[in-house]
Amino acid sequence: MVQLSTIVFGGLGLLTSGAKAALTVNLDDEASIKAAAALVAEDLLTFYHGDEPGQVPGILPGPPPDGDYYWWIGGAMWGALLDYRHYTGDKDYDKLITDAILFQTGPDEDFMPPNWTASMGNDDQGFWALTAMLAAETAYTDPEPDQAQWLSLAQAVFNEQTHEDRRVPSGRCKGGLRWQVYPSNNGYKYINTIANGCYFNIGARLARYTGNDTYAELASNTWDILTNLGYVDEDWNVYDGAHLPDCTDVNKAQFSYNAALLLQGCAFMYNHTDGAAEWEERINGLLNRTLEFFFPEGIAVERACEPGNCNTDMTSYKGYMHRWLASTSQLAPFTVDRIMPVLKTSTAAAVKQCTGGDNGRFCGFHWDTGVFDNIVGAGQQMNVLGALSSLLTVKAAAPVTNTTGGTSVGNANAGSDETVVTQPVEVTTGDRAGAGFITVLFIAGAMGAFAWMSFD
């Protein structure tokens, strides 16, 4: 049945190809932005099959070689759809979103499902936690009481990543959060900005949401680690990371999501502290450099890898940048006049190249060329969805807290008490099939790592 209907739709697509309509929108008209965003969301979800029989809820097809997408990007996609829902009020995908997130929480309700833990990075787990936190902050419908709760999920991930087993015990990189969770994975000795940035960002948001200053102190410590190691330099460039033992071999590739994740985290800290001068200064520095570096002509460019070297992961970063800049403008309103005009010119360019695919409105990745580049994917759609919906931020409610309308139930002690397994378990004959499976996962994780490491 599924295949038959695909063929029918495929045929229709061909028949109507003469009447292809590019994505059109008037960026001065709220209703027009919502209508365009709804189409982009619909096209984004053509890449998702987790709600179909026999498929795994929550994830996009993958991980490689089974499909293009790693586990984390599913979590990121639900975040993009939650922001879309919040800014537009479109509740059509609520069941899809909730089912997807809850399916991937794992038995300990901490986004460590056994299928994916062998290749788990702290950033992978972190992206799912960012989505859970966003659900709490947008007062998204709470799960049934016997299910995992949004706030508690974010706390579980934060608590586990606070644990010393995930961190560097001594030396110059002391206290840094490792990229990978397990020693057997390539990347265990890479201390990177995205893993620490997720932790910093979640901590800042937990502080603001709960009012518990312990989160703010821990987030602040991570900011200090990142700046002391020179991952954020004196000109506010944000670099990718460095290796043990000393973290001196800084990989100076600059990716938009690293800078934007730190910027948004600073905005949460600024808001939580009622406008502390140190966070204001950091916002100003990061914001100026982000706009200058990543929006050279007022249009987002993933400069470390465009035009030709972005992998599937990197193809989704611009959308996070748009969304996290928009969020910054809410939490630190003094930035709104600097941020929103740039997001608008960038979004206009993004939409202009959405002329591809069967229906003539799928988006590509190279926004500043003005033409569709003929490569479609979930990342490309997420980017434009994020860009369009972020333009509605000015009129949208700011993130709630547990005293201003937030209803998500937390648990300050959430997370597994078990420390991370550091030695492979001895394999008995009966376990071999399982161990083989794990080996495959480790290799998949290592291959993911090599893709990253090629930037060294």
Ligand X SMILES: *[C@@H]1O[C@H](CO)[C@@H](O)[C@H](O)[C@H]1NC(C)=O
Q: What is the dihedral of CA 115, 119, 121, 123, to 10 degrees?
A: -60
Question: Which pair of tokens denotes residue 403?
Answer: 């005293």
User: Which range binds ligand X by CB under 6 A, 189-197, 239-247, 362-370, 396-404?
Assistant: 396-404
User: Which range binds ligand X by CB under 6 A, 16-24, 297-305, 324-332, 379-387?
Assistant: 324-332
User: Which range binds ligand X by CB under 6 A, 168-176, 271-279, 381-389, 424-432?
Assistant: 271-279
Binding mask 128-167 for ligand X (x = CB under 6 A): -------------------------------x--------
Give whichever of 92 and 278 is closer to ligand X, judged by the CB atom: 278
CA 285 to chain CA centroid, nearest Å: 22
Q: List CB contacts of 302: < 8 A, sequence separation 6 or more.
A: 255, 256, 294, 310, 314, 315, 317, 318, 365
Q: Which amino acid belongs to residue 214? A: T
The footprint of ligand X on this chain (CB under 6 A) covers a number of residues equal to 26
What's the chain's length in residues? 456
Q: Which of 88, 210, 315, 327 binds ligand X (CB under 6 A)?
A: 210
By CB under 6 A, what part of segment 71-100 binds ligand X? none
Q: Is 56 in the site for ligand X (CB under 6 A)?
A: yes
Q: Which of 198, 332, 350, 392 binds ligand X (CB under 6 A)?
A: 332
User: Which range binds ligand X by CB under 6 A, 174-182, 267-275, 307-315, 429-437?
Assistant: 267-275
Instruction: Compute the distance between CA of residue 232 and CA of residue 247 in angstroms, rounded to an integer.
Output: 13
Instruction: Compute the distance between CA of residue 290 and CA of residue 64 in angstroms, rounded to an integer.
Output: 31
Give whichever of 284 and 416 is closer to ligand X, judged by the CB atom: 284
Q: Identify the burial level of 4 via C-beta atoms within 10 angstroms of its C-beta, where 0-12 means exposed, 13-18 middle and 19 or more buried.
A: exposed
Q: What's the min distance (Å) between Cβ of 200 and ligand X?
A: 15
Q: Is 275 in the site for ligand X (CB under 6 A)?
A: yes
Instruction: Compute the distance between CA of residue 40 and CA of residue 90 in angstroms, rounded to an integer.
Output: 13
User: Cβ(193)–Cβ(263) under 8 Å?
Assistant: no
Give whichever of 47 and 128 is closer to ligand X, judged by the CB atom: 128
Give whichever of 113 and 357 is closer to ligand X, judged by the CB atom: 113
Q: Which helix (H) or strand (E) element contains residue 197?
A: helix 193-210
Give whichever of 79 and 113 is closer to ligand X, judged by the CB atom: 113
Q: Which of 89, 307, 333, 424 binds ligand X (CB under 6 A)?
A: 333
Closest CA to 399 of 267, 213, 256: 267
Instruction: Compute the distance between CA of residue 267 and CA of residue 304 in angstroms, rounded to an integer.
Output: 25
Instruction: Compute the distance between CA of residue 136 and CA of residue 145 in angstroms, rounded to an integer.
Output: 15
Q: Is 328 in the site for ligand X (CB under 6 A)?
A: no
The footprint of ligand X (CB under 6 A) covers 56, 103-104, 113, 115, 159, 210-212, 214-215, 271, 274-275, 284-285, 288, 330-333, 398, 402-403, 410, 412
